[in-house]
Amino acid sequence: MRQGRRRLKNHVRETAQFRVRALLGFAIVVLALGGLAGWYFKLQVLDHADYARRSEANRIKPQPVVPARGIIYDRKGRILADNVPAFRLDVVPEDAGDPKALVAGLSKIVTLTAEDVARFERERKANRSFRAVTLKLRLSEEEMARFAVDQWRFPGVSVEPYLTRRYPYGALMAHIVGYVGRTDEKDIEEYGPGQALFTHTGRAGIERYYDEALRGKVGYEEVKTNVEGRALGRVGRIPATAGADLRLAVDVDLQRTMVEAFGDHDGSAVAIDPKTGEILAMASLPSYDPNLFVNGISSADYRALMDNPSRPLFNRNVLGGGPPGSTVKPFMALAGLESGLRRPGDRVFTTGEFHIPGQKRGYRDAHGGSGWVDLHKSIAASVNYYYYKLAYDMGIARLSTYMHRYGFGEPTGIDLAGENGGVVPSPEWKARNSREPWYPGETVIAGIGQGYWIATTLQLARGTAALAADGVLRRPHLARDRRDGFRSPWTPMPQPVPKRLSDNINYIRAVQGGMEGTIYDPGGTGRAMAIGASYRMAGKTGTAQRVSRKGNVSTNPHSLPLHLRHQAWFIGYAPTEDPRIAVAVMVEHGGYGGSTAAPIARKLFDGWLLGKYPEADPDAIPVTAIGARAVVAQASPTPASAARAAIPDLDAATVELFRGGPGAAR
């Protein structure tokens, strides 16, 4: 066997190859080390400020500081809505142990509802175990005393002070001031993510309309935390800006007079200053206690309100409305003058029944035939025939145009949300809401405020104030002034430029004379209300039918069941030589305006002009403005004992005013 050839190694070549590979590996290592050094240089030097900021951000957490909500006053400085210390029961789950055992033990000391427990469980599961969760939002003095004795048995449970909204006058001012409720997901969707920082959001009334101004601006404090997010201490603070204070034009004394004058009747009323458009008083009855809603109303209380057939939550002045009846006649008379179809001295012979040419059916006048009637007598004696014929001569298109000019069929612009604009009858409106054509008879009854009419008490009050102010139609408003800070001056709330009902003052004077005749003429429908008055007044009574008459037979509203009785209306102003108050009153199921609504207006006139107010309950006097502001300023950082010392008896200061007393009119 032949031996194979042996291959000789080239040591020189292998050595050279090894050197090349070693140098290449070394170069790669050097480049890698250089890149790493460069990256370290970038992190430690070039990007130091950025990463230091990020590191600090992980250690320092900003937490929002919610400001105190602005205080609401009446025109004389009496508090209508403020912030007072309250006390809640907080639980830190990781320190409290078994939740079920905890709730069972605490329920023997404090009253816990099913809603309290359900809310606690929901929030406990949604938060970290070391964060406090509220079990009960409002503790009474007795509950706090009982818990203080047994607090040692419940580790992780504490009583914490906080500010809560309070409405000292309760139901008396509910439909004006409104109320706040705890912020929910719908509020966040409507107002944006920032709304989640505020515990409460305005739900109704002034609280809702001026919510953004009242809630203020959120501040922040920087809190040092550990890796788990547990707070270790406070580093810095950017103070919150407290909400603006509002001073309303409403007078509490006149408001109480208005509510008590209704007695047991339901209805609505508005009193307004003709010279400024300021709302002096405004009631919708029955009312409700807004304090129930602040921290969440119970199911039982809410169901009681919703099941009440009189609808206490329904603001009749803003959301309601109905046929204005004869109270529309002064405005119809002015429209007749403005259109050129009538002059103040023109007379119409009334037979007691108006017939449309070519029709057999007549439109009766409740007062019967009145003979020759001019504009003055048509208003004073409320002669329907005059307005049947005027509406027919005017036509529905022109009638609708003038009524819109006078402020009907559209919102007044009051500073309350959701205002109903009402309805002025017109073929266009009927076409949108019915398949029936427009009939001439509907034009005729529109002249006396019947048919498809929907007018609110607020619209009638505004129109009456314009007649009292020689034709100047102003925006009705509740908020008079605001101030941004306790030491800042009050600044008036800006108002739009007013409009005019008519440029002819003689036309306005003619209508004013007719309204004065309502009170003082021998045949005036409101003569009884002027008995014993030391000032002169003007007005117009009205009755809006709730049931149709059968054929040509009129129905006495007092013979009907209560729920079918007509609406009683009155509009008016006083004193006639220099009007300082204009009112509109609507009494549901009240029958006739002259006997039911007019006496309420008389009490309002006496109250505002003569100072004849019902006696106030001395226990119903709320805390002073200075005292309330001091509480707001100190309550947040003050411990529970000191906060309680600031207001020694919280419950006694909370006042609920209910309607009562004998009826003002029968």
* 468 Cβ contact list (under 8 Å, min separation 6): 274, 512, 538, 573, 579, 582
The string of pLDDT tens digits covering residues 444-502 is 999 999 999 999 999 999 999 999 999 999 999 999 999 998 889 999 999 999 999 99
What integer pLDDT is reported at residue 545 of this predicted model? 66
- Structure token pair of residue 57: 């951000």
Residue where the block lists tokens 């509109």? 584
Measured torsion, CA atoms of residues 593, 599, 600, 602, in degrees rounded to the nearest 10: 120
Spatial contact of 468 and 460, defined as CB atoms under 8 Å apart: no
HEC string of 106-149?
HCCCCCCCHHHHHHHHHHHHHCCCCCCEEEECCCCHHHHHHHHH
Asked which of 89-98, 112-121, 465-474, 553-562 is least confident by mean pLDDT, the reply is 553-562
The tokens of 605 are what? 């006139």
42-46, 103-107, 448-452: the lowest-pLDDT one? 42-46
* 298 noted as active-site residue: no
Beta carbons of 346 and 389 less than 8 angstroms apart: no
pLDDT tens-digit series, residues 124-166: 887 777 777 888 878 888 888 888 888 888 888 888 888 889 9
- Assess contact for 608 and 254: CB atoms under 8 A: yes
Residue 420 has pLDDT above 80, yes or no: yes
Q: What is the mean pLDDT of the chain?
A: 84
Residue 286: asked if its preceding bond is cis (omega within 30°), the reply is yes
Between residues 591 and 470, the one the model is more confident about: 470
Reported as a pLDDT band with limits 50, 70 and 90, residue 94 is: confident
Question: Which pLDDT score is estimated for 647?
Answer: 28
52/56 Cα distance (integer angstroms): 6
The pLDDT score that the predictor gives to residue 424 is: 97
* Residue 505 to residue 334: CA distance in whole angstroms: 11
Q: Backbone phi, then psi, for 174, in 5-degree steps?
A: -60, -45
Task: Please say if the pLDDT value at position 226 is more than 90.
Answer: no
pLDDT at 227: 54
Dihedral sign for Cα atoms in the order 402, 410, 569, 75: negative
- Residue 426's SS3 state is coil
At 277-300, the pLDDT tens digits run 999 999 999 999 999 999 888 888
Structure tokens at 429: 């409106």
Compute the distance between CA of residue 540 and CA of residue 396 in angstroms, rounded to an integer: 23
Q: How confident is the model at residue 635 (pLDDT cuts 50, 70, 90)?
A: very low
Q: What is the mean pLDDT of residues 622-645?
A: 31
Percent of the chain's residues with pLDDT above 90? 53
C-alpha closest to that of 354 among 378, 397, 390: 390
Cα 602 to Cα 528: distance, rounded to the nearest angstrom: 10
Q: Is the pLDDT of residue 102 over 90?
A: no
3-state secondary structure of 233: strand
The three-class DSSP label of residue 502 is: coil
The pLDDT value given to residue 553: 44
> How is residue 557 annotated by DSSP?
G
The structure tokens 């409002």 sit at: 138
Q: Which amino acid is at 474?
A: R
Report CA torsion sign: 277, 279, 285, 288: positive
The pLDDT assigned to 82 comes to 94
**Which helix (H) or strand (E) segment is 90 a member of?**
strand 79-91
* Segment 67-78, tens digit of pLDDT: 889 999 999 999
CA–CA dist 648, 465 (Å, integer): 45
| Pairing verdict, β 219-225 and 60-65 | antiparallel
Is-contact 422 452, C-beta < 8 A? no
Which residue among the candidates 326, 378, 502, 595 is catalytic per the annotation? 326
Beta strands (DSSP E) in 559-645 are 567-574, 581-587
